[in-house]
């Protein structure tokens, strides 16, 4: 499946303006007012003739020719103000999940919060955090020392995530393979930074382990998407018809997944 906007970039093909003020030092941050909003950006100098603008989780980065001026940079940014402000807002709204390796931290599983909790002296477990709408708790017993280091917590939680991912993804693959009438493919967990999933001609499906943090409808969409490649190894209209045949609501869920980044 194609990457879901982990980095967005654009090169503004602008005519080079004459330098009228001081040369801009590279690698520094600056501020400029765009559409009434103060925007912070980082400057990078490289061998090019045009200005390049990249917006991602780190904010706005502007790449410029070796000896261009601040006046030229700010003029170019104002020309592209609508695009810059829009993309910065989109990144600000992304619901990125950042794991903190602490016993009191929340670890999402299928969209629900879980925590490491102490249940007896020297014993801890993963427990679903209490929510106002439900009191049921599911637990995974993990015998642990009473004091954990950050690296121990990371190791334990990641092993738990992988166990949950393999069980859940295998179940969903079986479900959608049966719906498509295709042989059940091999499953591999992926740690890719830019893809939720992939499928190759050998019938191997790779699913990003991070999907296990997402609500089940999002997991199902990615599974349905990748299994559809077993029939159509492309993104043609026929491919999307195949996806729709087993996951009719894929457009709405696809948009939700894109918002998550």
Q: Where are the strands (E) in 96-241, listed by range?
A: 107-109, 112-120, 123-128, 139-142, 186-190, 197-199, 204-208
Of the ranges 59-63, 148-152, 159-163, 234-238, which one carries the lowest mean pLDDT score? 148-152
Alpha-carbon distance of 105 to 96, in angstroms, equals 15
List the domain boundaries for the chain.
Answer: 8-92, 107-159, 167-260
Angular region, 237: left φ>0, alpha ψ -120 to 50, beta rest: alpha
Bridge pairing between strands 123-128 and 112-120: antiparallel
Alpha-carbon distance of 26 to 37, in angstroms, equals 23
Per the CB < 8 A criterion, the answer to whether 219 and 172 are in contact is yes
Residues 6+ positions from 156 with CB-CB distance below 8 Å: 116, 142, 144, 148
- Looking at domain 167-260, its CATH superfamily turns out to be Metalloproteases ("zincins"), catalytic domain (3.30.2010.10)
Residues 6+ positions from 111 with CB-CB distance below 8 Å: 213, 214, 215, 216
User: Is the pLDDT higher at 254 or at 3?
Assistant: 254
Element (H, E) at 12: strand 8-12
Phi, psi angle pair for 221, to nearest 5°:
-60, -45
pLDDT score recorded for residue 21: 41
Strand, coil or helix: 206: strand
Bridge pairing between strands 197-199 and 186-190: unpaired
Phi, psi angle pair for 136, to nearest 5°:
-60, 140
Quick check: 29 pLDDT over 80?
yes
Helix, strand, coil percentages for the chain (3-state, nearest 5): 35, 25, 40
Q: Average pLDDT of 95-120?
A: 72
Q: Average pLDDT of 234-254?
A: 92
Residue 217's pLDDT band, with cuts at 50, 70 and 90, is very high
Encode pLDDT of 39-73 as tens digits.
Answer: 888 888 887 878 888 887 678 889 888 777 888 88
Quick check: 98 pLDDT over 90?
no
Per-residue HEC secondary structure of 38-99 comes to EEEEEEEECCCCCEEEEEECCEEEEEECCCCEHHHHHHHHHHCHHHHHHHHHHHHCCCCCCC
Residue 139's pLDDT band, with cuts at 50, 70 and 90, is very low
């Amino acid at each position: 499946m194609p990457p879901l906007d982990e980095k967005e970039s654009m090169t503004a093909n602008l005519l080079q303006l004459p330098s009228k003020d001081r040369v801009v030092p590279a690698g520094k941050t600056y501020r400029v007012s765009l559409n009434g909003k103060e925007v912070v950006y980082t400057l990078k100098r490289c061998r090019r003739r045009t200005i390049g603008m990249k917006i991602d989780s780190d904010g706005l980065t502007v790449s410029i020719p070796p000896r261009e001026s601040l006046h030229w940079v700010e003029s170019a940014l104002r020309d592209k103000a609508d695009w810059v402000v829009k993309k910065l807002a989109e990144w600000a709204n992304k619901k990125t999940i950042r794991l903190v390796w602490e016993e009191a931290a929340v670890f999402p599983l299928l969209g629900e919060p879980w925590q490491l909790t102490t249940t007896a002296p020297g014993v801890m477990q993963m427990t679903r955090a209490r929510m106002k709408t439900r009191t049921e708790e599911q637990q995974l017993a993990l015998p642990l020392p009473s004091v954990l280091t950050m690296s121990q917590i990371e190791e334990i939680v990641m092993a738990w995530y992988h166990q949950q991912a393999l069980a859940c993804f295998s179940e969903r693959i079986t479900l959608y393979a049966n719906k498509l009438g295709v042989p059940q493919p091999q499953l591999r967990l992926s740690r890719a930074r830019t893809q939720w999933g992939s499928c190759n001609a050998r019938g191997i499906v790779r699913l990003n382990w991070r999907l296990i943090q997402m609500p089940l409808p999002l997991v199902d969409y990615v599974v349905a998407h990748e299994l559809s490649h077993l029939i159509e190894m492309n993104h043609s209209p026929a491919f999307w018809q195949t996806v729709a045949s087993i996951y009719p609501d894929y457009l709405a869920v696809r948009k939700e997944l894109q918002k998550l980044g």
